[in-house]
Amino acid sequence: MILYGASGHAKVVLDICLKNDIPIKFVLDDNEEIMTLLGLKVSHQYSSEIFKNNKMIISIGNNIIRKKITERVNAIYGMAIHPSSVIDKTVTIGKGSVVMANAVINSSSVIGEHCIINTSSSVDHDCFIGNFAHISPKATLCGGVHVGEGTHVGAGAIVLPNVKVGNWCVIGAGTVVLKDVDDHSKLVGNPGIKI
């Protein structure tokens, strides 16, 4: 596996790969000041050749940056799923996505490409998570929730059943989302209000 990104998020993705006996062949980062990641050498130069026969995960937490990298790097994308996660057999998970420790994804949910389902988050039945979205630690999506592309649901946030959260939204930590949210909105509080 190739990891593109060598920051804090990459450390967790690296740990998941190692727990699944997936060898890390290459760590890449555009920041030339980052030299190592948990003892692995970080490279700053690459060519399309390194992507031909190896799967890659973009191990960067920022949703916009993950999308921009997919637009300029032609790669085969893998997944990283922590062995302690609980994922129903009817769940679909897109390429490039990461599911972290103790996350739960229940029946008939669809996780898009290059998503982060973070530590101890809960995605209940029949949810849809758009590409490049991030469901933060201990966030809860009740049944039938739709989360749009690039949306970040903050730590400990709760989205009530059948609510639709638009594209590229930010749901603040601890926010309780009671009703549908328009694209490009920012919500905070309990109940969640737009700011």
Catalytically active residues, by annotation:
125
Read off the pLDDT of each residue in 123-148 and give the average, rounded to a whole number. 98
Within the chain, where are the H helices? 8-19, 63-72
Taking CA atoms, 94 is separated from 3, 59, 64, 118, 187, in Å, by 17, 15, 17, 15, 27
When pLDDT is cut at 50, 70 and 90, the band that residue 97 belongs to is very high
When pLDDT is cut at 50, 70 and 90, the band that residue 52 belongs to is confident
Mean pLDDT over the full length of the chain: 95
Q: Which of 146, 144, 90, 141 is nearest to 117 (CA)?
A: 141
* CA atoms of 17 and 167, how far apart (whole Å): 29
For residue 131, pLDDT over 80 is answered with: yes
pLDDT recorded at residue 190: 96
Q: Regarding predicted confidence, which is higher, 49 or 131? A: 131
Read off the pLDDT of each residue in 51-76 and give the average, rounded to a whole number. 91
pLDDT recorded at residue 46: 73
Taking CA atoms, 90 is separated from 20, 86, 111, in Å, by 21, 12, 11
pLDDT recorded at residue 194: 95
